[in-house]
Amino acid sequence: MQSFVVYKKNLSVHTEDRDIKKWPTSTVFDVELPVEYKNVVSLRLSDIQLPASYYVFSMKNQNTIFTVTVGSVTKKVTIQEGTYSPQQLMFELMGQLNKSFSNFKVIYNSTSMKFAFTNTDSFSFHFDKPEYDGSFYDQYSQWGLGSYLGFCKEVYTSTLTSYTAYGDNIEFTNTNVVESPFVASLYGDSHIYMELDFYNSMDEIAPYTERSNQQFNAKYSGNHNSAFAKIPTLAVANQKQYVSKETFLSNLFFSDPPLERVQKFKFRFRYHDGRPVNFGNTNFSFTIEVTMLRPDSVKPSIEVHSNHYRIK
């Protein structure tokens, strides 16, 4: 009986290794391997270092515009693209609102983690209609700027009242107030998915599932072998994060029988709902661990099973 030895190789990949003319962005790219990997039994993402340089708020994410009415005047207010802390977004919202109107104050209540808006005049926010052409508004969450601020798909009209946030030393009396009903969520997606063409082994439940008691209107689905690895986004804006198989990564592609040869890898990075990750011009790197079998006449023979290797 033929004997085999299990051995591993690590492939280091940097996004600057790609053909920049063929793949202008690092969201999708392929690389030619330096050697042929033969008799491959498994692949896994061993480690990855990612930049937190992608924007949470952008035109592509459809979350930079909302419609405001003050008195008889209705305008669309647009914030700048970027990634914000709650306090940074508070100042950005107040500045943009006062470009179009006047007397707006924006408060981020650090205790309740909600945004509140005040003005000497009555005003309304319109979150009941989509601001963009596209399907994001149909989602349950992340459907627009209002969702990130803690609002629902409704029209919110100010109430003449008082507002206090003693923890932030803020108090207003006899003013028009709109406060978000829910906690703000400004940090975007919690995970990035890596796809590796032909070697995806992770299943996903499709997001924004709808169920109905009516048999023919029920909508529930998932995606089989849709991703190669699931990567948590742990870093804050403008920092780098490092994750590895010893910490937060859990992924493995296994092939039985072994793959005869592997010569190329093609990668794609996306969010759970399918949106591509925009890394801009920032490079990053990762390591693919390749496990292979090679013939060996000296070592004891090995039985190859779907989830382990056993020496006879």
pLDDT at 269: 94
pLDDT at 164: 86
**Architecture of domain 4-53+188-311 in this structure:** Sandwich (2.60)
pLDDT at 305: 60
Nearest-angstrom CA–CA distance, 69 and 91:
20
pLDDT at 93: 98
Kindly list the domain boundaries of the chain, sorted by start residue: 4-53+188-311, 65-179
pLDDT at 14: 95
pLDDT at 73: 96
10-residue averages of pLDDT along the chain (312 residues): 81 94 94 93 91 84 96 96 93 97 94 94 96 86 94 96 84 92 89 94 79 52 87 67 66 87 95 86 91 73 58 52
pLDDT at 134: 77
pLDDT at 35: 93
Please state, as a whole number, how many other Cβ atoms lie within 10 Å of the Cβ of residue 217: 9
